[in-house]
């Protein structure tokens, strides 16, 4: 985190939109490839080639030593999965998290994909995670406090029996990958003082687990995070710009799930 909240001026909003719209376009490009039989490394290569061929930069490549151009997290992996030779199988759920740098501006989003026919448990987890993201977006307005996001997601998810991951959160974004404010997905004391004012750009990216909220980082690679009980985890993420009229979702895709989608 940069240590201070950034308020972008209206003339900068278009730069945020352009970066985020490219990122959404990349997500749509990936859709037809994310299916049983493909390896996560092959998906990573598609992300890399598409981004670079358009003159842009994959933000995760080399970020704090991360070795790949996207994060791909399967089943019990919560986040920061490193693409490798692992092949997607029928019944998996897989989160693809992509961030692009376009002319010095960042766009960031993730989706959880259902690979073929998945269990009812997996489908419901993905649905609740998706719905929790849009409940949070719809709950905020100019001057809302960050804690309102955490309250909405936490109350909705825990009532349905899901664990809300606490170790990882959303964040301010724009000219930098991560800035203040942090956006926890559960109510954190102090986050009621962080107000979402017009010109602020940030991500909301709830991670919900089928069991405990607790997670474990893989010490062998320093990145991969799994649920502590090895139960399933799902995540959705959008980049949001707060305007005078309310939150504008910058990373909406044309071909992906829209608000209200049923998996």
**Residue numbers belonging to the annotated binding site for substrate:** 80, 178
- Using DSSP's 3-state secondary structure scheme, residue 120 falls into helix
Full DSSP string of 69-88: SSEEEETTEEE-PPP-SPBP
Distances (CA, A) of 70 to 45, 46, 92, 182, 234: 9, 10, 18, 21, 16
- To the nearest 10 degrees (0 to 180), the angle between helices 146-159 and 120-139 is 150
Max intra-chain CA distance, the chain = 47
Annotated binding site for a divalent metal cation: 97, 108, 171, 205, 237
Q: What long-range pairs does 30-34 form, CB within 8 A, spacing at least 24?
A: 30/96, 30/98, 31/255, 31/256, 34/88, 34/94, 34/96, 34/113, 34/115
Contact by Cβ (8 Å): 142, 197: yes
The alpha carbon torsion through 220, 225, 230, 234 (nearest 10 deg) reads -150
Question: Which residues make up each annotated binding site?
Answer: 80, 97, 108, 171, 178, 205, 237
């Amino acid at each position: 985190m940069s240590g201070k909240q950034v308020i972008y001026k209206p003339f900068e909003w278009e730069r945020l939109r352009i970066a985020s719209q490219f990122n959404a376009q990349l997500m749509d490009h990936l859709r037809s490839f994310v299916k049983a039989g493909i390896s996560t490394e092959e998906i990573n290569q598609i992300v890399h080639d598409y981004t670079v061929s358009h003159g842009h930069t994959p933000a995760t490549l080399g970020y704090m030593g991360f070795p790949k151009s996207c994060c791909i997290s399967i089943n019990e992996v919560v986040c920061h999965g490193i693409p490798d030779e692992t092949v997607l199988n029928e019944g998996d759920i897989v989160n693809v998290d992509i961030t692009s740098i376009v002319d010095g501006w960042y766009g960031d989003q993730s989706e959880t994909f259902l690979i073929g026919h998945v269990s009812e448990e997996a489908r419901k987890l993905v649905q609740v995670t998706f719905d929790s993201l849009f409940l949070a977006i719809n709950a905020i307005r100019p001057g809302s406090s960050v804690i309102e996001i955490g309250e909405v997601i936490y109350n909705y998810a825990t009532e349905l029996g899901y664990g809300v991951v606490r170790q990882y959160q959303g964040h301010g974004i724009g000219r930098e990958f991560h800035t203040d404010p942090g956006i926890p997905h559960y109510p954190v004391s102090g986050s009621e003082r962080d107000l979402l004012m017009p010109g602020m750009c940030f991500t909301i990216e709830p991670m919900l687990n089928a069991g405990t909220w607790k997670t474990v980082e893989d010490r062998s690679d320093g990145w991969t995070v799994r649920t502590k009980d090895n139960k399933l985890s799902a995540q959705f993420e959008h980049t949001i710009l707060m305007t005078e009229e309310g939150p504008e979702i910058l990373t909406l895709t044309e071909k992906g799930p829209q608000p209200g989608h049923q998996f």
